[in-house]
Structure 1
Amino acid sequence: MNHYNNDLRKDCERKDKQAIGMAEAHVDNRSFKCLICLQECNTPRQLSCFHTFCTGCLDTYINSEYVTEDNRTYFPCPVCESPCYPHDKDDPVSTWAGSFPRNQLFASSMFKETESGQTFCNGCLTDDEENVASFWCKACSEALCQPCRVAHRRSKLLSTHKVIAIDEVSKTDIRMPVFVDNTCPRHTGKTIEVYCHDHNALCCVLCVALLHRRCTNVKSIGDTAQMFSLDVIECELGKMTDESKTIVEEDENKLTTLESDYEKMTSNVAMIIEKAKDKLDDLQKRFQTGLDVTYRRHQDSLHKRLRTNRIFQANIENTNQLMRIVKDKNPDVETFIVTEQSKTQLLRHVRRLQQMTGDKHNTFELKMRYDDVLEKVINMMTTVGRLEVSSSLSSSSHDSLTSIRQIIDTLQTTSSVTSFSESTSSSDMLRDVGHVTVPSSSIAPRIDVWTGSLSLVKSVNKGSIGGSKTPRLTGGVFIEGEGLLATDYKNKKLLLFDDSYEYIGHYDMDNSPIDITRGFEPNELIMTQIDSSLIRYTFRDGCITTTDSISSAQQCWGIDTLGDNMLTGTDYSVEISTSDFKQVASIPKRGYNTFVAASPNGLFYHSDEDVIVCRSRDGKEVHRIMCKGIKELRGITLDQDGNVYVCGMESGDIHLISHDGSKGRILLSRISGITRPYAILHHPTRQEIIVTSWQENVVFEVYKFCDQ
């Protein structure tokens, strides 16, 4: 490892010398960007995950996005979604943003002055007040107004400081007071004094006692800082900056290309339509609507991806700028602390970046297949052509993201300090601290549904869908590349929503649809209807086509597939059939409106009045469980781990049951905008739950899991 570090440092030194001119050119550009607005950070507030935002941006984010009716006392970081808690959970939500500490490193490099060039008092700015400074404390490196100068002189600790008129200080000195927060983020009032080399962790004495007692490579922060080398970090951050720029530039180019394709296609279609305008005006409008929807969907996708990568680029630039400031103006200890903090927040950011953009395409090529006999059969045509979109993630963006992940891994596995000969165990350093046993922990890739909570992320109202009657969604299925296709029982429609649950359009049905599921072939769907029929469809390129249907002797409600079999719930039984609708078994049950859900492990679940029954593939009962307090059990769904989610229409709650029935919990005792939940769906890849209403103003709500 030491040989690797030395080689890496030499390589970085060579690159640093080549780029020294560029570094000097930007040394005076000391502004930091807010990771929400991507503008210069105004009154910067730092969250516990080390990400920094404008106070105003953070306040708007908290109030508009995460003020919910369930009285949560935290909110997720806008960038990495780490849970963030205000200083006092009982404070009004409007004060949460201001309760987080100012990022003094950001604030000190972005000094504020009046229009005439006078400097504002640093102490007053801490309380978001702008008062002109008249004095400068050399020891504190702070500008002071007259009242703050008096308070400064009266302080026993500060009275000996050398204070001069601010006119005697150069603007360069005023711009560069640097403050490093060395307080422990876990333990109030404790400072960072120790570094654990086993976990690459900054610790206070309590951290060592509680979390690192069995670690063997623990050093004081001063000793570690003396061996600290910034060369490797600067080199890797430089590489990461280049890769992030590549991704952003690629997204910008692809967005321009997509817009160009859109403009060209719009123009070309208009030219063809013009030849038979009187007869094709209606077709042109229909085509243009479809093109606009497709274009905006992929444009929005690229905008979201571009913003995510811009935020990451801004974070990297902030970190680079931070390194330059700290390196030039601070002793080794503060430099080391800032470096380790930056590494921590970068790791969280990259993980979030990979989750949000790693599999998101950024290349969308719009093509048009024109009908070559358009002019010959103009009176017979029902469409101008078929709009096709081929999407992919460009190789350069994929390579850059992979490279960034590798750089982060290098930063985590490569020590930023030189080797040391003497190892100190935490037990040696804390002989006088009582023994505390704390289990080791690791960062889980997904939220534990048994300890996490549900957070409302979206409500869809009937006004956004339209129609003469309030929708009643009784089922739905997720279709890859399209979104959510839901059954609107009341209006005899199938409603299509994109991956962000925005309404796209609808498909008219002959009868009221009840439930829908994936079929046995690609692009195949099977649906139950109120007329006791089972309909088989194909859904391809936004078009739905009936391929088969059969009438049932009983009214069918819920439907799902398990292997080669089809499961349907009727008023009095659960029917098991083959893929061609031939009955295999009929299982009697109690209650009405039966819904079913199948698990990949060969089990399926159904309701029996207000009891959930688990059965094997052949219909044999495995176990049954009663959800405490649930009334009129309706919807039922499963997540990727086989856990069962059900909702009570009359009790208005959501319950969670383990796949083996050994445990259960009430996830939501009350749903935000829905009083009578009917259907429940689980997103196939995200930890999100969709709950529909029994014909209310809120058609459905989307919840996602988060830490308590």
Structure 2
Amino acid sequence: MKWPRSKKMENYLITCNIHKDETITALCNGHSELCCSRCVELNHSQCSKVTPINELTDMQPTDLQGLSVELETVLGEIKSLQISQELSVQALLRTYKEHVAVMIEQMRGNLNFNIDDIDECGNSYVGTSGGHEQYLKEEMCRSVLFILNEFDNITVKELNEMRDEVISIKGSVTSSIHKCTSLHNDLSHFHEFVQKIGDNKELCLIASIKCKHIIQQALTLLGKSSKVFNVQSITKHNVRIPSDKRICNIGGICVLPDGHVLVVDCTNQNVKMLNQQYQVVSHWDVNARPVDICLITPSEVAVAVNDHDSKIHEVQFITVNQGKLVPGRKFQLQHECSGIDHHQGVLFVISSEELYKYTLNGKQVCSLYRSFEYKVYKCAVSPTGDRLYITSLWLDNKLHTLARDGTLLATCTDPALYYPRGLHVTPAGQVLVCINSWPNTVLQVGWEGKSKLATLATEEDGVRNLWSVCYSSTASSIIVGLYRDDNILVFRVE
């Protein structure tokens, strides 16, 4: 097959991604990057192996047919992701409208109740003087004003909070949809190219390398990265504050996009905010035992609060405002909770036996998974929301992977998963589990949830009493919370 007459396709392939007026001439093996002469001069002059493209054509195999099949598969997955994200936006807006309607209906109910109550009182005084009638009118006015003021002071604040959440989440999802569209276009181009290149060896090699890079970008966007973390260093940071009366127990961690870290201290019943040097800069005392935390928007988190003795089971929203933690609305749960996570307006709350799906206004949608004998403990959702991971304790000691509807997709039964505590999924889809047993370890599991990929740290590295885990994209670090310890551990990774 001959190369198509259009030069546009060929130029698209051979043009350097960084210097648009230069042509690709070499490959840096160390960085796996295609380079033009300016790239080599500016960025790869110290690299040990930079090889001209014409010298690689007989050395590196190019399976264009296999790449074509892979591109077609990824194209379909990107399109499905885009559709699901668009549906998420619609569901999010619907939830907000429903919540507004409920709040207004509650206000009407309160008004009607008070008016009926006053009417009933008035009927019992039929035939009394006009002075009493005037009193009833004034009482009715006072009741109505009180209800309207309550609506202004509490309900409007709550609706504004939720409106801001919806706007923020919608913006994030819309941005992700745009990335999907752009990547889908690039994948479509390459899918067309690999079928028309013919026998031009240099173009085949360049197309093959570029295809692999863009497929990797797509897999990262889909939360299917297979990259294994490599730990470079481990440091300790003290998170105890003067008001803490007991030794810390960090049950949950989340990282804000600006690099600040929020941790929940179960025993001292507070949420602490750490700066990028992992120093406590603010804290807020919770009314009961906080057990987990998740990100809602770039400046808001949700905290799962669970106290068996006082029967307090709730989700508390907290906003970061000018460096301070400010409590917002909350809603009650009809069950205990041990874990929480969020994806595009949907909350996933785990009790000792079930995984529940909630809307942001506290409406329980359904139960997605049920276990017995207090087995389920923590949950985490994949970046695309199509996979849910849950850890099982006590008699099970497994990691289960569920589909969006709760269907069981996979179960990891690796012996290293004995007593899994902390659970987290990175933005690229890497699954992290910390084990609180002998030996204490931090594990990375494949995004499919079927097998362990690597042991990132063990007791030989000085890690003990592991309780929670989270990844910081800003700092390229894994942060680990500890049980009965005033420190957190930070693993610098590549």
- 1:193 — aligned with what? none
Name the counterpart of 2:364.
583
Quick check: 1:462–1:470 contact (8 Å CA) kept in 2? no
Letter in 1 for 2:419: E
Structure-1 separation of matches of 2:379 and 2:400? 10
- Deviation (angstroms), 1:482: 6.7
What is the match of residue 524 of structure 1? 300
Match of 1:461 in 2: 238
Offset of residue 650 of structure 1: 1.1
Contact 1:561 1:567 in 2 (8 A): yes
Question: 1:170 — aligned with what?
Answer: none
Counterparts of 1:522 and 1:491, CA distance in 2: 26
CA, structure 1 residues 623+465, in 2 after alignment: closer, same or farther (shift >3 Å)? farther
Q: What residue ranges of structure 1 are gaps of 5+ in the alignment?
A: 1-81, 83-195, 218-438
- Cα distance in 1 for partners of 2:437, 2:252 equals 18
Which one-letter code corresponds to 2:382 in the other structure? Answer: S
Matched position secondary structure for 2:362: coil
Count of residue pairs brought into register by the alignment: 284
Superposition deviation, residue 463 in structure 1: 6.0
Q: Mapping of 1:510-589 within 5 angstroms?
A: 510-519=287-296, 523-530=299-306, 531-586=312-367, 587-589=369-371
Q: Is the 8 A contact 2:441 2:463 kept in 1?
A: no
Within 1, Cα distance between the matches of 2:493 and 2:226? 7
Name the counterpart of 2:158. Answer: none
What is the rounded CA distance, in whole Å, between the counterparts of 1:469 and 1:197 in structure 2?
59
Q: Is the 8 A contact 2:469 2:478 kept in 1?
A: yes
Residues 290-345 of structure 1: per-residue CA shift (max 9 Å, x gap): xxxxxxxxxxxxxxxxxxxxxxxxxxxxxxxxxxxxxxxxxxxxxxxxxxxxxxxx
| Counterpart Cα distance in 2 of 1:632 and 1:626 | 12
CA contact (8 A) 2:259 2:472 kept: no
Secondary structure of 2:417's counterpart equals: coil
Task: Write the letter of the residue equivalent to 2:408.
Answer: E
With over 3 angstroms needed to count, the CA separation of the structure-2 counterparts of 1:461 and 1:564, relative to structure 1, is closer
Q: For residue 547 of structure 1, report the CA deviation from its aligned partner.
A: 3.2
Secondary structure of the corresponding residue to residue 629 of structure 1: helix
Contact 1:565 1:578 in 2 (8 A): yes
User: 2:388 aligned with 1:604, yes or no?
Assistant: yes
Give the Å deviation of 1:636.
0.5
Cα distance in 2 for residues equivalent to 1:592 and 1:661: 18
Say whether the 8 Å CA contact 1:680–1:689 is kept in structure 2. Answer: yes
Q: Is the 2:228–2:444 Cα contact (8 Å) retained in structure 1?
A: no
Q: 1:655 aligns with which of 434, 443, 459?
A: 443
Within a 5 Å distance, the mapping from 1:153-172 to structure 2 comes to none
- Taking only aligned residues, the RMSD between alpha carbons, in angstroms, comes to 3.7
State the alpha-carbon separation in 2 of the partners of residues 621 and 615 from structure 1.
Answer: 4
3-state DSSP of counterpart to 1:696: coil
Provide the TM-score with structure 1 as the length reference: 0.36
Measure, in 2, the Cα distance between the counterparts of 1:525 and 1:549. 11
Q: CA deviation at 1:616?
A: 2.2
- 1:617, CA displacement in angstroms? 2.1
Partner in structure 1 of residue 420 of structure 2: 633
**Residue of 398, 409, 416 corresponding to 1:622:** 409
After superposition, what is the alpha-carbon deviation per residue over 1:629-668, rounded to whole angstroms, capped at 9, x for unaligned? 2221111011121110001111311111121235422222
| Aligned-residue offset at 1:615 | 1.7
Aligned-partner Cα distance in 1 for 2:332–2:462: 37
TM norm structure 2 = 0.51
1:693 aligns with 2:487: no
Q: Distance in 1 between matches of 2:237 and 2:254?
A: 17
Pick the aligned partner of 2:286 from 500, 504, 509: 509
Listed one character per residue, the Cα deviations across residues 7-33 of structure 1 (whole Å, up to 9, x for unaligned) are xxxxxxxxxxxxxxxxxxxxxxxxxxx
Distance 1:523 1:214, change over 3 A: closer
User: 1:680 is matched with which residue: 469, 473, 487?
Assistant: 469
For 2:53 and 2:329, the matched residues in 1 are separated by 66
2: CA distance between counterparts of 1:517 and 1:504?
A: 19
Structure 2 contact 376–392 (Cα < 8 Å) conserved: no
Amino acid at match of 1:647: C
SS at match of 2:283: strand
Q: Contact 2:226/2:447 (CA < 8 Å) preserved in 1?
A: no
Change (3 A) 1:585 1:598: same
Pairing 1:17-416 to 2, within 5 Å after superposition: 212=51
Cα deviation for residue 450 of structure 1 reads 4.5
Distance 1:504 1:672 in 2: 28
Quick check: which has more Rg, 1 or 2? Answer: 1
- Alpha-carbon separation, structure 2, partners of 1:203 and 1:639: 32
The aligned residue for residue 154 of structure 2 is: none
* Deviation for aligned residue 1:197: 11
More strand, by proportion: 2
Q: 1:466 Cα shift?
A: 6.6
**Residue identity matched to 1:659:** W
1:594 equivalenced with 2:377 (yes/no) = yes
1:669 Cα deviation from its structure 2 partner? 2.6
* 1:348-383 per-position Cα deviation (integer Å, ceiling 9, x unaligned): xxxxxxxxxxxxxxxxxxxxxxxxxxxxxxxxxxxx
Against the structure 1 CA distance between its residues 518 and 199, is the aligned structure 2 distance closer, same or farther, given a 3 Å change threshold? closer
C-alpha contact (below 8 Å) 2:282/2:324 kept by paired residues: no
Distance 2:382 2:477 in 1: 18
After superposition, give the CA deviation of every residue in 1:430-486 in whole Å (9 maximum; x if it has no partner).
xxxxxxxxx9999x999x974552133420135677733111110122234471111
Compare relative contact order (CA 8 Å, sep 6+) and give the higher one, 1 or 2: 2
**Secondary structure in structure 1 of the residue aligned to 2:328:** strand
